[in-house]
Each structure stands twice: as C-alpha cells, then as structure tokens.
Chains A and B, each alone.
Chain A
Amino acid sequence: MSEHAEIATPPTSVDLQQILRDAEIQPVIDSLDEELVGLAPVKARIRDIAAFLVVSRARSQLGLESGTPSLHMCFTGNPGTGKTTVAMRMAEILHRLGYVRKGHVVSVTRDDLVGQYIGHTAPKTKEVLKKAMGGVLFIDEAYYLYRPENERDYGQEAIEILLQVMENHRDDLVVILAGYKDRMDTFFRSNPGMSSRVAHHIDFPDYTETELVQIATRMVGTMNYRLDEEAQQTMAAYIQLRKQQPHFANARSIRNALDRARLRQANRIFRQAMEANTTVDAEALSTICAEDIRASRVFSGGLDA
C-alpha cells in the first residue's frame, strides 16, 4: 500500500453545457417552446427554474452542498391555459436532471385525497402520495382541500399529511398545486404552512385571440384535419364571440368547438355523398369548412360548452 494514497479531490470547475447536454434538457425546453403557443412568462419561468436546477447540480458536483432545493410549485391560471401540459414537461425536466427518480405524473383532485368518514383520509392520502413517489404529484384545484365553512371537514387532515411529506420527502416527490389564481391566493393565506413550502409560483395568462386561432390550427393539424381559408376566418369570429361568453376555458373550449365541428363535418360529408351518390376523397374528408363552424350556437347568441 502506498503511503501517499490518492485523495479524491472535487473538481474545481464544472461545464454547465455538459450538464445540459447530459441531461438532454434543451430538447424538452425547445419542444415546450414549439408545442405550446404563447405563454411567454411561463416559458421564461421554466427556463429560469431549469437553469437554477442545472446550477444546483453543478454546485453539488463541486461539493458546494446546499441541500435539495425546494421544488414544490404552484400553477395558477384559468382553465385550459396549459397547466397540466406544463406539469408533464416539468416532470420530464426534473427527471432528466435527477431531481425525481421516475418522472411520472400522478394527477389528483380533492376526491382522491380526502376520505368520506373519520379515519379514511389518512390512508387515502398516503396511498396517493406513495403512488406519486419518484415523480410529480399534480393536485388540480388544490383549494378545494380547504373548506373553512366546515370545521370538521377532512380536507385539513389531507393538507397536514401533504405538508409533512412535502417537507420530509423532498427527495422523493415534487408537489404541483394548480387552480384559479384568486382562490389559490385565499388558500395560501389560510394555510401559511403550505405557502411557505411552495417555492415557485407560476401564473398562466389567458390566451389572446390570435394565439387561440393558432392553437385551433395546430389542434386540427394533430387530428389530421385542416381548416380552409374561410373556416379560419370563421374560427376567429367564433373565438371572439365565445370569449365574451361565460365558462370560456381557453384551449379546452377550442378543442370542444373543434370536436363539434368535426361531427358536423362528418354529417355534411355523409349527406352530400348520399345525395350525389358519389365517393369522397381524402381532401374532402380532412377539410373543415366554414359552415361546419358557422352552425355553432354561439353565432345565434346561444351558449357553447
């Protein structure tokens, strides 16, 4: 045995680019940029967080241990603004950087966490937490967990267990809370423990009308349809009208509108083919015309889902 045994010294510099390349983060961020329309502030925040995680990784490689950063997040925004989609991407980023071991997303609401009778809540919440370990727990409309009007509500119990695990098992899972901004704020005000454990708050803005038209074009593209010239204009008009109506859920409303347009299109093609007794080509089968959208109740002052 040599008396001058080599002592492993930590490296003195780290190549951030290398970490980025090894973790293959850039493709995820790029696909986030490409696949999601708008959401500029959200994308910027995600880039910030990714940079922070890369730097933390570099620090730990240099032996500058600062403990696992708190990664629990809160996504606020109106329905259909892409919170779930971004959560999926976030899980992927966290997984690639090694902050969660498996990188799956378990999406739950109050019903999955809170029990119906005394003693039911704790096992139920723990069950969900165990399923989420190694990945991301996405709690949609988290404020429903707290019902101040009923002091015997079991939601409080679920929150307490959640808090405990969020604190003690930071290496094992990341919790993302999601919901409307104002209600989430109230929820945090009445649960300071929760608020202090959530490090990153990201607000999802509503889409503008041009962005919504862009989203519609992409959605039909992924469904292997296309909107013809006139249909695009009609879609823009539809969006403008629909936005004024109650229960407008951004991208989700667009998806629903397109689904209904597809139904009408199928109906139209079928009728035309029957009347003319002709065959239909791929072009006709994949084109959504203005009249398919125009038939919506929104244009006659009615309500659409």
Chain B
Amino acid sequence: MKITQGQFSFLPDLTDDEIRAQVDYAISKGWALSVEWTDDPHPRNCYWNMWGIPMFEIRDGAAVLFEVNACRKAHAETYIKVNAFDNTRGVESMVMSFIVQRPAIEPGFGLQRTEEHGRTIRYTTHSYAATRPVGQRYG
C-alpha cells in the first residue's frame, strides 16, 4: 500500500531532478529546507527524526539533494521527506512537505475496532510495520 502523505503523494515518486526543482522553488521563496526520516508511517506521527539541522542560506537545490542522498544511504529502508519552513511573521509554519523515499514494501495499515458501552465502536488505524521493533520494520 503506497502511503499518501504530504504533497505530490498521489503522483508517481519524484525523480531527483523533480525534487531539485521543487526545492529550488522553495529556495526562491526564502524558505528553510529540512530533511526528516522515520520508520513509523502512521499519519498522526508528526515527530519524524531530523536528518541534520534545517538548511538556511543555501542557494541551490543540489545542497538538499546532497543531504537527501546522505540520508538515503544511512537509512535505506525508511520514509524520508523534505520540508520547507516559512518563517514570515504570522506564517511560521511548514509550507511544503513531500516524501522523497519510501521502503520497497509498504505493508500498510489495519483497521482496529474497539467496542465500548452500548454498541459504540471506536476505530483506529494501526501500521503493520510498527508491530516490529524500531530498526526491523522494513527490509
């Protein structure tokens, strides 16, 4: 199951040139880029691991690609995303976020039902990959 989170996730995976073009756009807007990775793909997991500190004062998308490739090398079978942060006063939030690497096999999510008083049912999703310990989830 292909996980669809962030921008472009319904498109085929971006090539390196496409990633660089997106990053160049973010740079032209003056946004700070950062690279993050995780092996817990739950949609509510907003705490991905930072790959290095956010990049300020870069002029070209190649710099971000350089870090993305370093991250890919270190964390081959994980999700990696690129974020762009707009620090304009009043905005101060992530304005771009897209996945640039995903594991070869994505087992997807299971739907869990919890019965409560009466006939109430509460639903939650659960990542099959996350049942295994950190570091053994993919590949």
The residues of A with any CB-CB pair to B shorter than 8 Å are 101-102, 104, 123, 126, 129-131, 133-135, 169, 171-173
Contact = CB atoms under 8 A, between A and B. Distances in A.
B59 A169 contact: no
Closest A-B pairs by Cβ, 8 of them: A134-B60, A130-B63, A172-B62, A133-B62, A133-B63, A133-B60, A102-B59, A134-B59
B66 A131 contact: no
Interface string B50-69: 00100101111111001100
Contacts, number: 38
Contacts of A104: 59
21 contacts: A102-B59, A102-B60, A104-B59, A123-B52, A126-B66, A129-B63, A130-B63, A130-B66, A130-B67, A131-B58, A131-B59, A131-B63, A133-B63, A134-B59, A134-B60, A134-B62, A134-B63, A135-B59, A171-B62, A172-B62, A172-B66
Nearest to B70: A126
Contacts of B58: 130-131, 133
B63 A101 contact: no
B60 A172 contact: yes
A18 to B, nearest CB: 26
B62 A101 contact: yes
**Among A101, A123, A134, A171: residue with most chain B CB under 10 A:** A134
Contacts of A135: 59-60
Nearest to A171: B62
Given A130-B55, A172-B66, 11 more contacts: A102-B60, A126-B66, A129-B66, A130-B63, A130-B66, A133-B60, A134-B61, A134-B62, A135-B59, A135-B60, A173-B62
Contact of B59 (A123, A126, A133, A171): A133
Q: Which of B57, B60, B67 has the most A CB atoms < 10 Å from its CB?
A: B60
